[in-house]
Amino acid sequence: MTIESIIWLIPLPPLLAFFLIVLFTHRSKALSHAIAIGAALLSWFGSMYVFLEAMRIGGELGEHPFESVIPWLPAGDSWLEIGVRVDPLTAVTLFFVAWTVLMIFVYSVGYHNFGQPRGDHDRKGLPPHGATVRDDHGHKHVVPSVEPMYSRFFAFIGLFAFGMYTLVVSDNLLTLFVGWEIMGLCSYLLIGFWYGKISARAAMIKAFITTRIGDMFMLLGIAYLYTMVGSLRYADIFTSETLAMLASTPAVGGLFGLSAAGMIGILLFIGTVGKSAQFPLHTWLPDAMEGPTPVSAMIHAATMVSAGVYMVIRMFPLLTAGYDGHGPLTPTLMVMAFIGSFTALFAATIALAQNDIKRVLAYSTISQLGFMIAALGIGAYVAAAFHLITHAFFKALLFLGSGSVIHGMEHGVLHTGKHVDPQNMFNMGGLAKKMPITATTFIIGGAALAGVPFVTAGFWSKDEILADAFGHQHFAVFLVLAVSALMTAFYTMRQIVLTFFGKPRTEAASHAHETSWTMTLPLMVLAFFAITAGWAGIPDYFPLLGTWFPGFFSHFVGHTLPEPPGHVEFSFLPLLTSIIVSLGGLALGYVVYRNYQAGQEDPLKAALRGFHTVLQNKYYLDEIYDFLFVRPAYWLSETFTFRWMDRGVIDGILHGVSWVPSRIGSFLRMYPDRFINWTGDATSEGVKLFGRRFRVIQSGNLQQYMLAALVLTFGTLFVYLYSLLR
């Protein structure tokens, strides 16, 4: 089997698993998860094989990627072609997607309480409420119960994996968009997985509609690109002639003096803003935490939202088209740098004041995605890709870890029977002793997110972004990102201290205990990558470490571009900044929350006062959007469209139109109809009367009939003869 056919096959097993589960095996939980995990494993094998082959070839792959194309849809006089393409960027993306997807699948088995008894009152569409069991001594215990829609969940994440793989191996924007939309659908389905909860329903609709806004613009961008180039394949778009043509053609309408390339770039970037939850379309992502805790959250942190960043990294040559290497960046990149760094800071501040363990991570995801977008915006191609990958690993780890924590807390809640919010960090504390594996891996993930120097993956990728920003004299971006990184370290430490250190602050927390191996194993695997993934990208020029670990990443991924980006000069200032913000933020967080006791106010609240409330309410953006968009939309549909247009105008016209025939009808019913009725009735009555009178002559006696016939014959004969003779 050639490598191209293996690439074709990578996305298919999860799709097959989806259909198998939905159509056949959904009644059997064990079979369903076996099929789903088996499919994920097959895709994983394919991805690893392709990744290793790509590694063997190395940077050469950039010029000669694995490619295979087939014609798909006839479009006028040309064909839309679909195909697969694996260049260095795809290879590393496949690597992290394969690992994280496989880990989610395994983790989901434990998260959905496979092997536990059925719940006492569990209903489909609601999270499991726990089951009562009796142990050997006759004591009653409440234990977690198995998810009622277990198989359905595995079907959905199977479809999700198909979407992600399709997006990654695609060699053109069209199939990328198909995968993109499939993931949008799965995201919708998984956020609303517990559709019995009103909040989950609202969140699913919010996520779908918000990302739809981005997708609409992205589709416009794709259409525009197709009009200009006549092809959507990367290989056709990223030729220097095409790019030059796009860069020199003014955009339709000459908007803001943009070139076609700039216009398309901005439209595509708006798609990313929606998908990767950048300001101002970020509000759906924190709400997406309504889904089953770690898994849909992990989709919304490690893989799916990465797709948005992956897409802009993929389109980087187009985004930079027209940039001569000097002077200001292209307008698209400037927009991206601005939005990315703003989002990074903005989301980090909100994360400071959140109490829900998952919401902190959700805002941290938005913030980290902002880092990537900002990195790309300043032209740091490799750094953005690098951060994409390290972030996928450690954010997957953190989310799965938080799921494990919540699971442990839920266990405590069920055990004690006292309801406390199992997601509120202020209800936790001291979990490190109860859940050692979760705690260790979570702290490793947190360290990576905060960027603990020299060891963790997060440090290397974040440092590279900062170094690039500094090296290319984008000091504003550098400053904003550095401050965001400081906050990141701070809220990470806050989270770790509140969750794992100190004493348990609720009874539930003191009864939490470690989750099953299906949940801890993925944590350990991801923790491994959260450390080591960074070593692949240590820059060559880095003192000491750079010579020990040759930085293959930038050589490898950099060759995806026709002209690999050059390195910035090594400078101690950004390195020092990275170290200071990371360690400083962590230390600050530790100092502030070290002595936090149950029932106390959040120390940050005292420090920030009113601003804390603003942060806790996410700058009231949800309320502002509600006021600006949701209510007008409701008003438009309820009052304007329904009451005025539909009820008033359209119904009014129709009622008017129907009034005339209705009047004619009632006139006809009053007068002519009576006459017709009377005639009809009289006819039938007459016939009836006649029949009743004359029926006596039908006596049934044959001889009488014959006599009558004789008389009539004679009578007729007589009349006839008489008339003849006369």
**How far is the CA of 62 from the CAs of 9, 91, 112, 320, in angstroms?**
22, 11, 42, 18
CA atoms of 551 and 573, how far apart (whole Å): 21
Comparison of 660 and 702: residue with beta carbon closer to another protein: 702
User: What is the smallest separation between the CB atom of 684 and another protein, expressed in angstroms?
Assistant: 18
Residue 695 as a binder of another protein (CB under 8 A): the answer is yes
**Near another protein by CB under 8 A, which window of 222-230, 378-386, 563-571, 694-702?**
694-702
Work out which of 78, 132, 240, 699 binds another protein, going by CB under 8 A.
699
User: What is the smallest separation between the CB atom of 672 and another protein, expressed in angstroms?
Assistant: 37
Q: Which of residues 625-664 bind another protein (CB under 8 A)?
A: none
Comparison of 664 and 709: residue with beta carbon closer to another protein: 709
Residue 23 as a binder of another protein (CB under 8 A): the answer is no
User: What single DSSP character describes residue 620?
Assistant: G
Residue 340 near residue 374, CB atoms below 8 Å: yes
Residue 134 as a binder of another protein (CB under 8 A): the answer is no
User: What is the smallest separation between the CB atom of 710 and another protein, expressed in angstroms?
Assistant: 7
Burial of 124 by CB count in 10 Å (0-12 exposed, 13-18 middle, 19+ buried)?
A: exposed
User: What is the smallest separation between the CB atom of 699 and another protein, expressed in angstroms?
Assistant: 5
Comparison of 571 and 698: residue with beta carbon closer to another protein: 698
Comparison of 670 and 702: residue with beta carbon closer to another protein: 702
Residue 711 as a binder of another protein (CB under 8 A): the answer is no
User: What is the smallest separation between the CB atom of 685 and another protein, expressed in angstroms?
Assistant: 18
Q: Say which residues have a Cβ less than 8 Å from residue 469's Cβ, sequence separation at least 6.
A: 374, 375, 378, 380, 475, 477, 478, 481, 574
Comparison of 2 and 701: residue with beta carbon closer to another protein: 701
Total number of residues that touch another protein (CB under 8 A) = 11
CA atoms of 482 and 577, how far apart (whole Å): 7
**Near another protein by CB under 8 A, which window of 63-71, 214-222, 424-432, 692-700?**
692-700
Comparison of 696 and 724: residue with beta carbon closer to another protein: 696
Residue 524 near residue 400, CB atoms below 8 Å: no
CA atoms of 189 and 296, how far apart (whole Å): 10
Work out which of 257, 327, 566, 700 binds another protein, going by CB under 8 A.
700
Residue 245 near residue 321, CB atoms below 8 Å: no
Comparison of 544 and 697: residue with beta carbon closer to another protein: 697
Comparison of 545 and 711: residue with beta carbon closer to another protein: 711
Name the β-bridge partners of 84: 68, 170
Comparison of 703 and 723: residue with beta carbon closer to another protein: 703
Does residue 632 have a cis bond before it (omega within 30 degrees)?
A: no
Instruction: Say what angle helices 517-532 and 436-450 make with each other, to 10 degrees.
Output: 30
User: What is the smallest separation between the CB atom of 714 and another protein, expressed in angstroms?
Assistant: 11
Q: CB-hemisphere CA count at 13 Å for 488? A: 39
Residue 707 as a binder of another protein (CB under 8 A): the answer is yes
Burial of 280 by CB count in 10 Å (0-12 exposed, 13-18 middle, 19+ buried)?
A: middle
**Near another protein by CB under 8 A, which window of 110-118, 435-443, 491-499, 698-706?**
698-706
User: What is the smallest separation between the CB atom of 711 and another protein, expressed in angstroms?
Assistant: 11
**Near another protein by CB under 8 A, which window of 63-71, 105-113, 200-208, 705-713?**
705-713
Residue 693 as a binder of another protein (CB under 8 A): the answer is no
**How far is the CA of 511 from the CAs of 411, 441, 504, 505, in angstroms?**
7, 20, 9, 11
Residue 706 as a binder of another protein (CB under 8 A): the answer is yes
CA atoms of 382 and 316, how far apart (whole Å): 11
Ramachandran category for residue 618: left, alpha or beta (phi over 0 → left; psi -120 to 50 → alpha):
left
User: What is the smallest separation between the CB atom of 704 and another protein, expressed in angstroms?
Assistant: 8
Instruction: Say what angle helices 198-229 and 260-275 make with each other, to 10 degrees.
Output: 160
**Near another protein by CB under 8 A, which window of 240-248, 293-301, 442-450, 700-708?**
700-708
Q: Which residues bind another protein (CB under 8 A)?
A: 695-696, 698-703, 706-707, 710
